[in-house]
Amino acid sequence: MELKLNTVGKVKVIEIHGKFDIESTEEFETIFNKQLETNPDTLAIDMNKLDYIDSSGIGSLIKSLNNIKNQKGKLILVGLKPMILNVFKLAKLDMFFQIISNEEFRLKFAGED
């Protein structure tokens, strides 16, 4: 897995590339928690280049969602591939996470400064 940090408008974005599995959860959580230290209103996880996620990756996202909610912030998952979106829907996780398309994300946040 490779992680990249970005900013779109006022939103901090963590891009996940490759596989999000048990071997990469610690690295993700460290970077996510470092972003939380800045008290962002909204943090986005760009999943466009995510090819695989297992239960430990999903668990890490749930933990991250709870952490940002405790700070009254929002977590948005962006650009899930159909296969990964299906995993979230089957587990009913789409009811807990805000999941939006790339286009929705750009329209909503790219113009903010």
Q: What percent of the chain has pLDDT over 70?
A: 97
Please indicate, yes or no, if residue 110 is contained in any of the structural domains.
no
The total number of structural domains that make up the chain: 1
pLDDT, the chain, mean: 94
pLDDT in tens, 54-89: 999 999 999 999 999 999 999 999 999 999 999 999
What contacts 55, CB < 8 A, 6 or more positions away? none
pTM for this entry: 0.93
The CATH code of the domain that includes 18 is 3.30.750.24
pLDDT band, residue 90 (cuts 50/70/90): very high
Which domain does 94 fall in, by range?
Answer: 2-105
